[in-house]
Amino acid sequence: MIHVRELIERKTGEHTGDVQTIERSASVLDAARLMNRHKIGALVVTDHGAVKGILTERDVMTRVVAEAKAPAHTTVESVMTSPVLTCEPASKLGEVRKVMRERRIRHLPVADAGRLVGMISIGDLNMADQETLVETIKTMEVYISGGQL
């Protein structure tokens, strides 16, 4: 069974493991620009490295746009999701997928002793599942062909 730690290590190895964060006092406009610049759907809201919340595209749409709030004058803290669910590096991917499915969330910060160490998305989980399936298929093909491909 694959653990979150392995997934984070793979992402870090690809230079995509850096988690974009934002302070609670920042404006939603600044947050949206940061998400657009990095082509991401969520920012972890931190205070001196500690995870305090998460701001997602959904938060911006439902708590800012739909309520006709001015993004330049709305703080991240006023619309972020808090408290935020996190997982640990030792969490199993199957457990994480279940939580994300049941809670209908697409991004999950990874914290170790309360400190942010990464972020996983439903896309990351799907990619890990795909890699596992491809390896299983290759193994089965070798087995069926009598050890030769």
Question: What's the pLDDT score for residue 23?
Answer: 94
This prediction has a pTM of: 0.79
Query: Which secondary-structure segment (H or E) carries 80?
Result: none
* Cα distance between the two ends of the chain: 27
Question: What's the pLDDT score for residue 15?
Answer: 45
Question: Is the peptide bond prior to 83 cis by the omega test (within 30 degrees of 0)?
Answer: yes
Single-letter code of the amino acid located at 129? D
β-sheet bridge partners, residue 96: none
Question: What's the pLDDT score for residue 117?
Answer: 87
Cβ neighbours, 10 Å, residue 10:
16
Question: Is the peptide bond prior to 109 cis by the omega test (within 30 degrees of 0)?
Answer: no
Q: What is the pLDDT along the chain (149 residues), one digit of tens a residue?
A: 688 998 888 776 554 457 899 999 999 999 999 999 999 999 999 887 778 999 999 999 999 999 999 999 999 999 999 999 999 999 999 999 999 999 999 999 998 887 888 899 998 999 888 888 888 888 888 888 876 65
Is residue 110 packed enough to be buried (19+ CB in 10 Å), middle (13-18) or exposed (0-12)? buried
Backbone angles phi, psi at 51, to 5 degrees: -75, 125
Q: Are strands 42-47 and 21-23 parallel, antiparallel or unpaired?
A: parallel
The token duo for 18 is 């850096």
Question: What's the pLDDT score for residue 72?
Answer: 97
Q: What dotted CATH number matches 4-144?
A: 3.10.580.10
